């Protein structure tokens, strides 16, 4: 499921995100959503979230 719709993402969901510095390489980081940072209902590059580890990135995959 793509991470471009805010309604698809719930707190506690396991996701893969791309961090700002990893955007050129596309490296994904897996974690659990702690906080949803994007307010708009959709975003073409993925909804920005904070993971429980403190990592901030845009959701590319919802697991």
Q: 35 in a domain, yes or no?
A: yes
Residue 51: per-residue pLDDT: 98
Q: 28 in a domain, yes or no?
A: yes
Residue 2: per-residue pLDDT: 80
pTM value is: 0.92
The predicted-structure confidence for 17-52, as pLDDT tens digits, reads as follows 999 999 999 999 999 999 999 999 999 999 999 999
Q: How far is CA 40 from the centre of its chain?
A: 14
Beta-carbon count within 10 A of 36 CB: 16
Q: 18 in a domain, yes or no?
A: yes
Q: 1 in a domain, yes or no?
A: no
The full DSSP string for the chain is --TTBGGG--TT-EEEEE-GGGTTTT-EEEEEEEEE---SSB-TT--EEEETTS-EEEEEEE-
Q: Which domain holds residue 11?
A: 6-62
Q: 10 in a domain, yes or no?
A: yes
Residues near 28 by beta carbon (within 8 Å), at least 6 away in sequence: 16, 17, 18, 22, 60, 61
Q: 50 in a domain, yes or no?
A: yes
CATH code for the domain in which residue 51 is found: 2.30.30
Domain count for the chain, please give it: 1
């Amino acid at each position: 499921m793509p991470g471009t719709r805010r309604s698809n993402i719930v707190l506690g969901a396991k996701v893969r995100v791309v961090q700002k510095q990893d955007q050129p390489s596309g490296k994904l980081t897996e974690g659990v959503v702690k906080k949803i940072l994007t307010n708009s209902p959709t975003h073409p590059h993925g909804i920005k979230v904070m993971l429980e580890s403190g990592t901030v990135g845009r959701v590319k995959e919802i697991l």
